[in-house]
Chains A and B, each alone.
Chain A
Amino acid sequence: MIEFQQVYKSYGRGIDTLADVTFGIAQGEFVFVSGPSGAGKSTLLKLIAGLDVPNRGTVLVNGKNVGKLPGRFRPYLRRAIGTILQDVHLLSDRSAFENVMLPLTVTGHSRAAAAKRAHAAIERVGLSGKDGLRPQELSGGDQQRLAIARAIVNRPGLLVADEPTANLDRESARRIVEVFRDFNRVGVTTILATHDESLITDYATRVLLVKEGKVTDGGKRTPRLGGEVEA
């Protein structure tokens, strides 16, 4: 599903944020991307999400070469990926429901069909009854849930989340990871970036360690809280 082949990415300061990165992620995997702050985790996820392009090498997502995909086609790639960034990017002047509706509006769904799917997504992440609230009226954990609802409302086959638990207390963080695990259990490939070791220990079935622009594949592992290792 995702293939990185000798990928380099720099932001013009002469330092490679990512250097010679090669790995693959198969359909249905639940992968944690770990590493210290500034190691290149966010860059890695942006390349996967089609929000950026590599300077060298090949990034294949759903069979599409992200670097060679013309700019006008990249939005269509992004629609097949549910992306949650560290800053949740929720629109403060709109209700939770309207925030979740946005991806469906972008794809031109009818209002009735979009509303049905938005309500289902909100219910799926456990925010029923909070549809009418503005993001700033929600707790940090609920804001993350809302961002997840917006990411999954287009029914993507791939979820990419950058530090989705960074600003949450331990219990809220676990609940959020469990939401992701629920989606993974129904076949959605899920990639989470975090530097929270306890979450990795408890939930990760595979870890990619990013350090100084290099990616080390930690391989398959059995999580402490009963995750299943892909064959």
Chain B
Amino acid sequence: MSPLIRQHRYALGVTLRRLLSQPFSSIANILVITLALAIPLLGATALMSLRPVANHLTADPEMTVFMQVSATPAETGAVADRIRRDHASEIRGLRVISRDRALAELKANPAYAQALAVLPDNPLPDAIVVTLEGEDLAQRSAKLAALWKTWTKVDMVQVDSAWVQRLEAILRFARASLLFLALVVAVAVLAAVFNTVRMQAMTQREEIAVARLVGATESFVRRPFLYQGALTGAVSALIAIGAAALALTPLNDALLGLARSYGAEFALHLPGLPVLAAAVIAAGVLGALSARWSVTRSTRF
């Protein structure tokens, strides 16, 4: 075994001994960092679970062209033909819902049947439902809506994907907030590890002085603290993942009930193994960097 490996093994042993010599302090410190890490982890879990749902919803954007009530079936048909002809490459599908059919469908619903029965005339207009094709749907649908609205006998154009756009905007905002939260948590982890290592370095001053006296390099002196920081960060991240996984069970139970009431299936899932592994490594590296900074400041020779 090379001297360097022996020194690393020694440093790891010293680290574990120090952590175990103050079990309550070590556990409290790890728990604080765990809590700090669990919050953005759950946030990331929610965002990553929502992304495919949002993607799926935006895959079928529909626009509804409402004709004026006075428009004849021929005029409605002319508008539908014009959409097919002028925007053939931009649409995937088109269907016309006549005002009579709309009224019949509405009457079939007992909730509206009574109210509709007292109306003298059919108040509903003809409608043309257009399914769009291709990319950049949000921008194109807005342009098409503005254009179609100017056509004769067209009353209004409704972009059915508007709420999806709003959802996307919310997700963008949530992603930015999550990034900010992650930065705040990173600073919190840095501060927690920095302070712990500083306290530890204070109590180990005598040992550090003796090690330097007998020829220890600065790397040798710092190494146990670096291991301590890295271990604290990585173990906290692992526990945070475990805690998040546990928290997802009751959260998903509640969420599933809500989703089913909308006729959907939705559940929160932790990010994949590579992302979780990267998070553990990042927390470890962050802990080690903080420890290095702290021990360098606290144990100047």
Contact = CB atoms under 8 A, between A and B. Distances in A.
Given A91-B207, A105-B10, A106-B220, A51 B3 contact: no
B216 A106 contact: yes
Contacts of A110: 1, 6
Contacts, number: 61
A154 interface: yes
Given A72-B218, A91-B206, A108 B6 contact: yes
A114 to B, nearest CB: 9
Interface residues of B, number: 21
Interface string A87-106: 00111100000000011011
Interface stretch (A8-16, A77-85, A193-201): A77-85
B214 A103 contact: yes
B7 interface: yes
A108 B7 contact: yes
A190 B212 CA distance: 21
Contact of B213 (A51, A76, A105, A108): A51
Interface residues of A, number: 26
Chain B binding surface SS class:
helix
Nearest to A52: B301
Interface in B2-17: 2-4, 6-7, 10
B209 A89 contact: yes
Contacts of B214: 78-79, 83, 102-103, 106, 150-151, 154
A78 B215 contact: yes
Contacts of B211: 102, 106
A89 B215 contact: no
A91 B301 CA distance: 18
A75 B218 CA distance: 8
A79 B206 contact: no
Interface string B197-218: 0000000001101111111111
Contact of B216 (A71, A75, A77, A150): A75
Contacts of A55: none
Interface of B: 1-4, 6-7, 10, 206-207, 209-218, 220, 301
28 contacts: A71-B218, A72-B218, A75-B215, A75-B216, A75-B220, A76-B215, A77-B215, A78-B212, A78-B213, A78-B214, A78-B215, A83-B214, A89-B206, A89-B210, A102-B210, A102-B214, A103-B214, A106-B216, A106-B220, A107-B215, A108-B2, A108-B3, A108-B4, A109-B3, A109-B6, A110-B1, A151-B214, A154-B215
